[in-house]
Chains A and B, each alone.
Chain A
Amino acid sequence: MYAFDYHRPTSLAEAAQLLAGNPEAKLLAGGQTYIPTLKQRLAKPSAVIDLGRIAELRGITEEAGGLTIGAMTRHAEVAGSPLVKRVIPALAALAEGIGDPQVRNRGTLGGSIANNDPAADYPAAVLGLGATVRTSKGRAIAADDFFTGMFETALEPDEIVTAVHFPKPEKAAYAKFPNPASRYAIVGVFLAKTAGGVRVAVTGAAPCVFRATALEQALAQSWSAASIDGVTIDASNLNSDIHAQADYRAHLIKVMAKRALAAAG
């Protein structure tokens, strides 16, 4: 690891100020991606700003019938929360399947979505539920506008995710085909029936999480496995790598969509 300065702000305002005054600084949330990245010397920040002591960034509350989850809330907290299990059980189940228990004890919602790993689980829930990302600049960014590309988001360089608001869906479920070693999604499908229509978000399959509009249209017409069978997934923009070819990922999208449909009921 290269040497860096370390800051441990206790308020969001202090963290935002440190970040704004230090363009080469990086934020540390749960560190389950960033610390391995530092260990491999793949990053050389001038300073690390640790968000771990900012109480206002943590917690799960019920809001407008849905859930608001602070950016520094750990995966294990979401997975084990009776409130999440009651309001959006699919979200608790998704959090329970991230990485391994030790990763879930440290990793955070805000860290996951700000990193926007193409195979991360949380981006699928944020996009699939039509959630809103709240930031230190007072912005409320719709999920459809937040995930802009591989490891890229709509966040400005000095902007910090503070919380995510998830509206309560009528039905929702997530199914993933994990890489057996890393548990990252080779394909993960988050499917939701919401007040605004059917939403299907796919992670792991392409350079960035995306909505499978063909599946959404088919499921809006008929919420059934037969609708999924009738859809052809375009493999031309999907990833091919050592784990899976694009056409196999296209196939898995339908398989995972059907598993999610069965789980959602």
Chain B
Amino acid sequence: MRVSMTVNGKAVSGEVEPRTLLVEFLRNQLGLTGTHVGCDTSQCGCCVVHVDGVSVKSCTMLAVQADGASVTTIEGLAQGGKLHPLQQAFHEHHGLQCGFCTPGMIMSAADLLQRNPDPTEHEVREWLEGNLCRCTGYHNIVKAILAAAQTMRGMAKAAE
């Protein structure tokens, strides 16, 4: 089947089998390997991308289901060569160790911050329910997300 979608602002299309997962299409056909596959059971959240503005597990969605949709992956977050505030904050607060879960963590956090620009630490931890990290124990990840939220609130205010 032919699928067409917008990925990180660019129109793309390709031939897929109905059973092709969205993450397989992104990684294997588009070469966007920033989206990771950490499990085969829809639990780890390494593959989180945004489809039509909300975070989803791209390993638990068929590519054909995303036909016509607008998809944003980790590669689409940085604008004009400048890291997204979440990416910058993960760097500054050492929000990763091996980095495998990081794309999913950041895409999930980006969805949280668009709904709730000023989350509490508890709300961040609750929101990360679907993202597993097996290195750092989440502490610096939560710190990074709270710091990015603060930066983004400042940017929003400056833009007013």
Pair B56/A106 contact, Cβ less than 8 Å: yes
CB distance from A212 to the nearest CB of B (A): 28
Q: Which residues of B contact A237 (CB under 8 A)?
A: none
Is there a chain B Cβ closer than 8 Å to A18's Cβ? no
Q: Choose from B41, B54, B130 the contact partner of A36 (Cβ within 8 Å).
A: B41
* Given A3-B17, A4-B19, also A31-B62 (CB < 8 A): yes
* Given A31-B65, A99-B130, A183-B129, also A106-B18 (CB < 8 A): no
Chain B, Cβ-Cβ closest to A52: B65
Q: Which residues of A contact B43 (CB under 8 A)?
A: 181-182
Q: Which residues of A contact B21 (CB under 8 A)?
A: 35, 39
Within 8 A of A (CB), among B100-120: 108, 111-112
Tally of A-B Cβ pairs under 8 angstroms: 79
B12-39 CB mask vs A (1 if < 8 Å, else 0) is 0000011101000000000000000000
How many positions in chain B have a CB within 8 Å of any CB in the partner chain?
A: 29
* Given A6-B18, A102-B55, A105-B55, also A36-B42 (CB < 8 A): yes
A120-138 CB mask vs B (1 if < 8 Å, else 0) is 0000000000000000000
Pair A103/B130 contact, Cβ less than 8 Å: yes
Is there a chain B Cβ closer than 8 Å to A159's Cβ? no
* Given A35-B61, A52-B65, also A102-B108 (CB < 8 A): yes
How many positions in chain A have a CB within 8 Å of any CB in the partner chain?
A: 29
Pair B19/A1 contact, Cβ less than 8 Å: yes
Pair B19/A101 contact, Cβ less than 8 Å: no
Is there a chain B Cβ closer than 8 Å to A241's Cβ? no
A1-12 CB mask vs B (1 if < 8 Å, else 0) is 111111010000
Closest 4 CB pairs of A and B: A100-B130, A6-B18, A100-B129, A1-B19
Residue contacts A-B, CB under 8 angstroms, 11 given: A4-B19, A6-B18, A8-B67, A28-B62, A31-B65, A40-B41, A101-B108, A101-B111, A102-B48, A102-B55, A106-B56
Other than the given A3-B18, A48-B18, 19 more pairs (CB < 8 A) read A6-B64, A8-B64, A28-B62, A31-B60, A31-B61, A35-B21, A39-B59, A50-B62, A50-B65, A99-B129, A100-B45, A100-B131, A101-B111, A101-B130, A102-B45, A105-B54, A105-B55, A105-B111, A106-B61
